[in-house]
Structure 1
Amino acid sequence: MEEILEKLSENSVSDGSNSPNSSQFSHYYKSGPTVNDQQKRRETILKDLKKKRELSFDKNRGHIVKEKQEGDEESMEWKNTHSTKKKKWYSKDYQNKLMFSEWLIEVPEDFQENWLCLPCPKGHRALVAATKENTEVYTKYGCLQARFQSCLPSGSRGNFDGDTILDCIWNFACKQYYVLDVLQWAGRDLTECEAQFRFFWLKSKFDELPKLRTANEHNKYPIEPLQYYDCSRLNDLARELYEFPVTSSQTSSPGVDGLLFYHKEYIYEAGFTPLVGWLKPYMLPEILSITWIHPEYLKEKPHDYTTLADHIDDSKKQKRNWWSVKRFNSNEKS
């Protein structure tokens, strides 16, 4: 292992010269921009964010920001998508709130200084909302999936600490929620806070509430924040990746689906963004020159995989074909 880490320290991150021109996430992660386009958009978004913060600071100086009142009503409605199916409960308040990544097609210029890495477990994306003494789980479309009691603020009877909203992964085999990010905690909006602060906040709050990490009478499912790594210390990440699997402190781990890369200064904003990147573990040698990963990850590489650039192009073609078939079938029915 020491030899491995030595090798990594010499060449843990590529300089971009060799950068290339099924997960449950595959259908809503990733667009496939060009390298230059992705870098330019990052710079533009960060500049706009800085200006927005400066204007907001000047505008709100000396004023108290009005928060959502406890009695405010949620916009909920029934939808019946098919006569033979059960009705589904949707909430407009939780529709389209999740933030999604793009493929990390090249190493950002400030990668070691300003980026964080989050190994992401296999499972289903979920928005977990603790509100009105209940904990509710929604899809990205705002469809209610589950309701239970938890130790999150406002997540159980007698708990009136303010609403909490988390961006999570639900793993059915482990019966556990893994926390990617936080939008709100005990009534405090954190979406305008930088990623580095949000991750620190999550860790500190979960350290204060150890019962969240286990299933108990007040907490139906374990809820655990994922460990993040500073991209200036990829040796630590490489060590974890070599000791397959990774993501959980528990003995039963769901294994890694991929790795999310967050810019430290970016806020939480719904939709796709180039300031959150995504790679499969088998892509690390190609993009980040991390070659010492567990062989199990390499087994997940598709037999026809060549480069990330080709993979993006193939995905685009498949998507276009899918839409063509769908339109054809729709025309046939009409």
Structure 2
Amino acid sequence: MAPPPEPRRPYKRPAISDQQRRRELALQAQSARRADAQARARALASSLLTTPTPPAATHRHEEEHEEEEEQEHTVADVAASASKLRGSEARRWFARQIMLPEWMVDAPPHLASDWHVFARPSGKRCLVVSSNGITISRVRNGSILHRFPSALPNGSKRDISGPASSYSILDCIFHEPDQTYYIIDMICWRGYSLYDCTAEFRFFWVNSKLTETSAGDPPSANHRYRFSAVPIYECTLEGLQAAYSGGTPYVKDGLLFYNKHAHYQAGITPLTLVWKDETCSQYVIDTDGKGEVPNEQHLVLELQEDGKLVTSDDPPVVFGSLDNEFIQKSNLRTGNLLRFAVRDESVRLVDGKMQTGELQFVGKPNRARAFADSHSKALFQYAARHAPLRIDDLIASIQSNNMELESTDVEMQD
């Protein structure tokens, strides 16, 4: 007689970062950070509409400085300050307005109950604003991608309803093959700010409000590009499988995970996560300037005034430093973004942080780039080369959570 099968044990993949702790802190912080959401949206809309395009090839200013927190300024101050920015300062300001995901290095607990998931379209991430009869899209570095008429509210001269100055702001990815703006989030609709609304509510509004307009219709003279909402799922086993393996009208570039309770927070946040493998993305491991996968992992870091090399996180993570002699000899300046190669044998993971020994200077990245790599990206890229977080790990995490819930239900019934 065959022995009875062993009972399934809860799955737990060893954590390699402090990502879960930061998720908990981020949820606590957002409830205490309820600034004037309407003012923030109005300032962003004004800046998107009026700020000149920063030249992509402009050299970084010698006297780069940290900007003050936006909530300390009036709407007029923020909009006026942004409109005066040029070059690298403008690129940095606009890049700070988009909510950027951390890279998933640990599977979050409670994926099925607390998270949404969807397939990320491949393309250019941008903010789209419609107001005063015109629609403008700007990519992450602030450059204008398109200026066009659209069927969004007040997005064309033909479609002005209510106050002409009323504005809408969408977080989109422009997918070149089908010339479509895929909406992944909504910041403002007809002047109503959604900054302090949960992701669950914002996703509901994307789908409901888009159907109130003709923005999803094929292009026409007064509607140059089509807008489409991405299919969003609850991160159950079925939802994860649909996002991972299901068909989409666009080329996939990984999966995006949104915590249902997350507000729209400008900058990098652990409440949104990006994950990818070879099945759902063409580009898992970063390539070099020639489009080839280098033998060693590359990191883009920012040079600080004291010579330290840091990530784009807040607060930044220090990966190393350069001495003054090398900085002067290489004609480097504070604020420069620099590319380094990382020797695998020098990497250590300590208390959720990635520590590198020897960094080899490779050169400067594209000048249009606004920020250094984040710490979570460095961790994800290292894991992708050695011990990647796989789709099976995400499935096992959901199954384990389901088992825990079933066990709790049984105990309550007893």
Q: Which TM-score applies when normalising by structure 2?
A: 0.54
Q: CA deviation at 1:110?
A: 2.5
| Aligned-partner Cα distance in 2 for 1:102–1:208 | 33
Q: Which position in structure 2 is the counterpart of 1:215?
A: 219
Return the match for 1:48 from 29, 33, 47. 29
**Secondary structure of 1:204's aligned partner:** helix
Alpha-carbon distance, 1:93 to partner: 7.9
1:120-175 Cα offsets, whole Å, 9 max, x none, are 11111111111221010101122112100001112111414411111111111111
Match of residue 25 from structure 1: none
1:218-237 map, 5 Å: 218-231=222-235, 233-237=236-240
Find the counterpart in structure 2 of residue 200 from structure 1.
204
- Per the alignment, residue 175 of structure 2 pairs with 171
Separation in structure 1 between the aligned mates of residue 120 and residue 179 of structure 2, nearest angstrom: 16
Say whether 1:264 aligns with 2:260.
Answer: yes
What's the CA shift string for 1:36-73, capped at 9, x where partnerless?
A: x11111111111223345xx7xx99xxx989859x978
Instruction: Give the stretch that moved more between structures: 182-191 or 72-81.
Output: 72-81
Change (3 A) 1:213 1:257: farther
1:75/1:92 contact within 8 Å kept: no
What runs of 5+ residues in structure 2 fail to find an aligned partner? 1-7, 59-85, 286-293, 302-338, 342-358, 365-414
% identity of equivalent residues: 26
Deviations 1:160-210 (A, max 9, x none): 441111111111111111011011111111111110000001100112224
Cα distance in structure 2, aligned partners of 1:117 and 1:265? 13
Q: Is the 8 A contact 2:26 2:269 kept in 1?
A: no
Seen in structure 2, the aligned counterparts of structure 1 residues 94 and 131 have a Cα distance that, compared at 3 Å, is: farther
- Which structure: larger Rg? 2
The answer to whether the aligner puts 1:76 opposite 2:59 as a matched pair is no
Aligned to 1:305: none
Using the alignment, how far apart are the partners of 2:244 and 2:360 within structure 1? Answer: 37
The whole-number CA distance in structure 2 between the counterparts of 1:268 and 1:186 is: 17
The answer to whether the 8 A contact 1:258-1:281 is kept is yes
Residue of structure 1 equivalent to 2:70: none
Q: How does 1:102-181 map to 2 (within 5 A)?
A: 102-158=102-158, 159-161=160-162, 162-181=166-185
- Whether 1:314 aligns to 2:276 is no
> Are 2:363 and 1:326 aligned?
yes
How far is 1:108 from its partner? 1.3
- Equivalent residues of 1:102, 1:274 under 8 A apart: yes
Change (3 A) 1:118 1:297: closer
User: What amino acid is the match of 1:76?
Assistant: T
Residue in structure 1 matched with residue 273 of structure 2 by the alignment? 277
Q: Secondary structure at the match of 1:173?
A: helix
Cα distance in 2 for residues equivalent to 1:160 and 1:93: 31
Kindly state the Cα deviation for residue 106 of structure 1 after the two structures are TM-superposed: 1.6
Tell me which amino acid in the other structure corresponds to 1:192. Answer: D
- Once residues 52 and 109 of structure 2 are traced to their aligned partners in structure 1, the CA distance between those partners, rounded to angstroms, is 46
Quick one: distance in 2 between partners of 1:133 and 1:314?
47
Q: Do 2:253 and 2:282's aligned partners in 1 also have CA atoms closer than 8 Å?
A: no
Is 2:340–2:363's contact at 8 Å kept on the other side of the alignment?
no
CA offsets 1:67-88 (integer angstroms, 9 cap, x no match):
859x9786524655659xxx99
Report how far residue 219 of structure 1 moved: 1.3
Q: How much has 1:217 moved relative to structure 2? A: 2.8
Q: Measure the CA separation in 2 of the matches of 1:317 and 1:77.
A: 27
User: Could you tell me the TM-score, scaled by structure 1's length?
Assistant: 0.66
Equivalent residue letter for 1:324: F
Q: 1:324 to 1:171 in 2, by over 3 A?
A: same
Residue 93 to residue 214, structure 1, CA distance change in 2 (3 Å)? farther
Q: Contact between 2:152 and 2:215, CA under 8 Å: does it hold in 1?
A: no
Q: Name the SS of the counterpart of 1:320 in structure 2.
A: strand
Structure 2 letter corresponding to 1:180: I
In 1, Cα distance between equivalents of 2:51 and 2:297: 39
1:17 partner letter:
K
Gaps of 5+ in 1: 1-10, 22-33, 247-252, 283-295, 303-310, 328-334
Larger RCO: 1 or 2 (CA < 8 Å, sep 6+) = 1
More deviation in 218-227 or 158-167?
158-167
The amino acid across from 1:51 in the alignment is: A
Query: Residues of 2 paired with 1:93 and 1:297: CA distance?
Result: 31
Residues 259 and 281, structure 1, Cα contact 8 Å, conserved in 2: no
Contact 2:99 2:265 in 1 (8 A): yes
Q: 2:99 matched to 1:99?
A: yes
User: 2:22 and 2:171 mapped to 1: Cα distance?
Assistant: 24
Shift of 1:323: 8.3
